[in-house]
Chains A and B, each alone.
Chain A
Amino acid sequence: MWVDLIVTVIKVLVVSTVLLTGVPIMVWVERRGSAMIQDRLGPNRVGPMGLLQPVVDAVKLMTKEDLTPEGVTGTNRFLYLLAPAIALVVAVSTFIVVPFGYDPGLELFGHAIGGFVVAPDLDLGILYLFAVGSLGVYALVLAGWGSNNKYSLLGGIRASAQMISYELAMVISVVGVLMVTGSFSLDDVVLHQAGTWFGFIPKWNVIPQLIGAITFMVAVFAETNRLPFDMVEAEAELVVGYHTEYSSMRFASFFMAEYINMITASSLIVVLFFGGWTLPGIATPGGWLGALATIGIFAAKVAFFLWFFVWVRWTLPRFRFDQLMALGWKWMIPLAVLNFLWVGVAMALGYL
């Protein structure tokens, strides 16, 4: 019992530490990456190659004055204060079902660690993720409402419309993957993708379900409010949208939530469509060394997609809000349904 608890606590601590340190690293990658794309240097003064810049930024944010805008009182003030907390809690708690490595039955203090995932027994897996993840929209709407600022309000309204629309496309494009796997558990999804076709093509879902993978990736960009779908922030139109009025650590909470969501989104892309921790030839290695290798593979794949997020952001212009909705409803959802039909037909004919 106690050992069980200790093992879980260690897992939670390790994962949350990795996630929260992932944020400053991502910020650094974003800033240096954008600098590279834009033919400039980027932050390079604090620490080697500017690596300590995010630390300094965090210290700066923590020591800033925490302002509440005038006229935000009573219930609105409660909502205003609650919103960043929701954003951060939702962002951190969605990651607990993501399997980030293979567990060949390892033990810690004589007790099975039960897989490299914080909540191994949550068979709902992906459903839990979507259910909790969709709560994230409350943070944006409440922040927009509670700020007593018209730009924030517009940002909050955009957020609700955008996230609800794209959640549909996202969920439908995942249905194909779940059908092939026959399970909601993300561990099973990954294990299903182990092995190869003809000995060299990895059995990743992206190959038979390319349309699904693309719709999922586009939807994820919209869900994480990244360019070209960052209507919610759209600094040129709405100043910065829902978090215009936030300062200090409350602003930092939104900022961190955004980056944690990016990490979760990249992990999901990897788990659902790019074989998770597997590589052709490496699926279920034994021992601690093998487990660490799978974690390394997973991290490398996630890092690639995180870089992809950065890359896209600094290359493309922004959609207009109505165009984004049109894209979501007229293209993404039909394409996702098409993918789901194709998987159904292919399974019925015995191809998948």
Chain B
Amino acid sequence: MGGPLEPLFDVEEMELSFGPQHPATHGVLRVQLKLDGEKILDARPIIGYLHRGTEKLFEQEPFNQCIPHTDRLDYIAAPTNNQGFVVTVEKLLGITIPPRAAYIRMILAELGRISSHLLWLATHAIDLGAITPFFYTFREREEILDLFEAYCGARLTLNAMRVGGLPYDLPDGWVERCAEMMEAFPAHIDEYETLLTENRIWKKRTVGIGVISAEEAIDWGLTGPPLRGSGVKWDIRKVFPYDRYDEVDFEVPIGKNGDTYDRYLVRMEEMRQSVRIIQQCMDRLPDGPIMAKVPKVLRAPEGMVYASVEAPKGELGYFIVTTPKGSQPYRCHVRPPSFVNLQSLPVLVDGLLVADLVAVIGTLDIVLGEIDR
């Protein structure tokens, strides 16, 4: 005898095309899997099914008309997309926005963050078989969308910011309504946590799954909760404050082990911190104009500019190149957090099972709208 054992019959790897039509890929992601039984030998994300040429569209529109296109990048959290774009253009043009506008922007952005995290929690839990949290989180998400609707008339694609400020002021009674919601919201977070945080099955499915170390996370360029889950304290709102984030007080939650469970805890805590930010903004909301003095037709100097904001999924950056006196970007590149975070999928699922792939896709919190653009 001796030598490696010969298998009794032919065994071969199974190739499985996971998506683009699959309930758990959060859109039109396709993962080309090589399986040994249920064990993943290789996972290759294939993207592009939702490509709409957004970056090209940016090149044909004046700056302010680009904003509706940004809504459709990460369509779950439109305010931060708008914010990223207007902050970049303001940096290019050297505009300082009035404080009231900055505070309202922060309120909207944090509401967007909460609504995005609620959707993430709902779908992540459903992927792991817990169906009920979905309906609880959607109850609260609905209220946030109602607030958006009361502010600008739209619920998802808000188009809520302009270069130099905001298109509208807050309507009467909006602040009170928002304050009421924020008052009640932490109790709702506790409610979701009672269903999941200490649940034995939930922990079994998430602890130690999709582990990535801090160094690896940085090497892969991860940002947002996937980076912070690995214990790196990196939040654009803290390190390169934009709008008035340097004036509010909040914590950046970090995890320890860099697994799915830690990323879950980080996001839950981020929702609580967002509530804190919103409450502080509403307490200090100054009076005054909501628009800086900007010309009707924006003309940019020749140059290049990059600025980024902390979107719910991570660092959302815009890189804009302009020609002399250009009224529109010559080239605009978007650095979407989901795109960069998704790159780490093959590393995260290496050697795990098909069921874990679903958990890892959920924990990365990807939105195909901004991956494919």
Interface residues of A (CB under 8 A from B): 34, 37-40, 150-151, 154, 227-228, 230, 234-239, 314-323
User: Are the CB atoms of B23 and A321 closer together than 8 Å?
Assistant: no
Contact A317/B205 with A39-B139, A322-B353 known, Cβ cut-off 8 Å = yes
Chain B hits for A314, CB < 8 A: 131-132
Chain A hits for B23, CB < 8 A: 235-236, 239
B304 interface residue (CB < 8 Å to A)? no
User: Are the CB atoms of B132 and A318 closer together than 8 Å?
Assistant: no
User: Are the CB atoms of B14 and A237 closer together than 8 Å?
Assistant: no
B202 interface residue (CB < 8 Å to A)? yes
User: Are the CB atoms of A321 and B38 closer together than 8 Å?
Assistant: yes
User: Are the CB atoms of B129 and A318 closer together than 8 Å?
Assistant: yes
**Chain A min CB distance to B198 (Å):** 12
User: Are the CB atoms of B201 and A315 closer together than 8 Å?
Assistant: no
Residue among A40, A227, A239, A320 facing the most chain B CB atoms (10 A cut-off): A320
User: Are the CB atoms of A317 and B354 closer together than 8 Å?
Assistant: no
Measured in the bound complex, the distance between the Cα atoms of B334 and A34 in whole Å is 42
Measured in the bound complex, the distance between the Cα atoms of B33 and A238 in whole Å is 13
Contact A237/B354 with A317-B130, A317-B201 known, Cβ cut-off 8 Å = yes
Chain A hits for B357, CB < 8 A: 237
Chain B hits for A236, CB < 8 A: 23-24, 126-129, 358
A-B contact pairs, 20 of them (CB 8 A): A38-B135, A154-B354, A235-B23, A236-B24, A236-B127, A237-B24, A237-B358, A239-B22, A315-B195, A316-B129, A316-B130, A317-B125, A317-B128, A317-B130, A317-B196, A318-B128, A318-B130, A318-B355, A320-B204, A320-B353
Interface residues of B (CB under 8 A from A): 14, 16, 22-24, 38, 125-132, 134-136, 139, 195-196, 199, 201-202, 204-205, 353-358
Measured in the bound complex, the distance between the Cα atoms of B135 and A314 in whole Å is 11
Residue among B14, B38, B125, B131 facing the most chain A CB atoms (10 A cut-off): B131
10 tightest CB-CB pairs across the interface, nearest first? A318-B129, A38-B135, A317-B130, A236-B24, A236-B127, A317-B129, A320-B355, A317-B128, A317-B201, A317-B202
Identity of the chain A residue whose Cβ is nearest the Cβ of B130 in the assembled complex: A317
**Chain B min CB distance to A63 (Å):** 25
Contact A228/B38 with A38-B135, A237-B354, A239-B23 known, Cβ cut-off 8 Å = no
Identity of the chain A residue whose Cβ is nearest the Cβ of B134 in the assembled complex: A38
User: Are the CB atoms of A315 and B132 closer together than 8 Å?
Assistant: yes
User: Are the CB atoms of A319 and B204 closer together than 8 Å?
Assistant: yes
Contact of B355 among A40, A234, A315 (CB under 8 A): A234
Identity of the chain B residue whose Cβ is nearest the Cβ of A35 in the assembled complex: B135
Chain A hits for B131, CB < 8 A: 34, 38, 314
User: Are the CB atoms of A323 and B195 closer together than 8 Å?
Assistant: no
Chain B hits for A323, CB < 8 A: 204-205
Chain B hits for A39, CB < 8 A: 135-136, 139
Measured in the bound complex, the distance between the Cα atoms of B355 and A151 in whole Å is 12
User: Are the CB atoms of A38 and B136 closer together than 8 Å?
Assistant: yes
User: Are the CB atoms of A234 and B129 closer together than 8 Å?
Assistant: yes
Chain A hits for B358, CB < 8 A: 236-237
Measured in the bound complex, the distance between the Cα atoms of B35 and A151 in whole Å is 12
Identity of the chain A residue whose Cβ is nearest the Cβ of B204 in the assembled complex: A323
**Chain A min CB distance to B366 (Å):** 15
**Chain B min CB distance to A228 (Å):** 6
Measured in the bound complex, the distance between the Cα atoms of B356 and A322 in whole Å is 11
Chain B hits for A150, CB < 8 A: 14, 16
User: Are the CB atoms of A37 and B132 closer together than 8 Å?
Assistant: yes
**Chain A min CB distance to B243 (Å):** 35
Residue among A38, A236, A315, A319 facing the most chain B CB atoms (10 A cut-off): A236
**Chain A min CB distance to B186 (Å):** 18
Measured in the bound complex, the distance between the Cα atoms of B136 and A34 in whole Å is 12
Contact of B356 among A34, A316, A317, A320 (CB under 8 A): A320
Residue among A38, A237, A317, A319 facing the most chain B CB atoms (10 A cut-off): A317
Identity of the chain A residue whose Cβ is nearest the Cβ of B206 in the assembled complex: A317
Measured in the bound complex, the distance between the Cα atoms of B357 and A154 in whole Å is 15
Identity of the chain A residue whose Cβ is nearest the Cβ of B201 in the assembled complex: A317
Measured in the bound complex, the distance between the Cα atoms of B199 and A227 in whole Å is 14
Chain B hits for A318, CB < 8 A: 128-130, 201, 205, 355
**Chain B min CB distance to A31 (Å):** 12
User: Are the CB atoms of B355 and A237 closer together than 8 Å?
Assistant: yes
**Chain B min CB distance to A76 (Å):** 18
Chain A hits for B205, CB < 8 A: 317-320, 323
Contact A228/B132 with A239-B22, A319-B204 known, Cβ cut-off 8 Å = no
Residue among B126, B132, B202, B205 facing the most chain A CB atoms (10 A cut-off): B132
Chain B hits for A37, CB < 8 A: 132
Residue among B16, B139, B355 facing the most chain A CB atoms (10 A cut-off): B355
Contact of A40 among B16, B135, B199, B202 (CB under 8 A): B135
Identity of the chain A residue whose Cβ is nearest the Cβ of B21 in the assembled complex: A239
Measured in the bound complex, the distance between the Cα atoms of B135 and A34 in whole Å is 10
**Chain A min CB distance to B188 (Å):** 11
**Chain A min CB distance to B192 (Å):** 12
Identity of the chain B residue whose Cβ is nearest the Cβ of A151 in the assembled complex: B16
User: Are the CB atoms of B201 and A316 closer together than 8 Å?
Assistant: yes
Chain A hits for B354, CB < 8 A: 154, 237-238
Measured in the bound complex, the distance between the Cα atoms of B195 and A318 in whole Å is 13
**Chain B min CB distance to A332 (Å):** 15
Chain A hits for B127, CB < 8 A: 236
Contacts A314-B131, A319-B204, A321-B38 aside, 18 further interface pairs with beta carbons under 8 A come to A228-B129, A228-B201, A230-B129, A234-B355, A236-B358, A237-B354, A237-B358, A239-B22, A239-B23, A316-B201, A317-B125, A317-B130, A317-B205, A318-B130, A319-B205, A320-B204, A320-B355, A323-B204
Measured in the bound complex, the distance between the Cα atoms of B38 and A321 in whole Å is 9
Chain A hits for B139, CB < 8 A: 39
Measured in the bound complex, the distance between the Cα atoms of B208 and A320 in whole Å is 13
User: Are the CB atoms of B135 and A227 closer together than 8 Å?
Assistant: no
Chain B hits for A34, CB < 8 A: 131-132
Residue among B14, B129, B201, B355 facing the most chain A CB atoms (10 A cut-off): B129
Measured in the bound complex, the distance between the Cα atoms of B140 and A39 in whole Å is 12
**Chain B min CB distance to A309 (Å):** 14
Measured in the bound complex, the distance between the Cα atoms of B24 and A230 in whole Å is 16
Residue among B128, B139, B195 facing the most chain A CB atoms (10 A cut-off): B128
Chain B hits for A315, CB < 8 A: 130, 132, 195
Measured in the bound complex, the distance between the Cα atoms of B202 and A323 in whole Å is 12
**Chain A min CB distance to B259 (Å):** 14
Measured in the bound complex, the distance between the Cα atoms of B125 and A335 in whole Å is 30
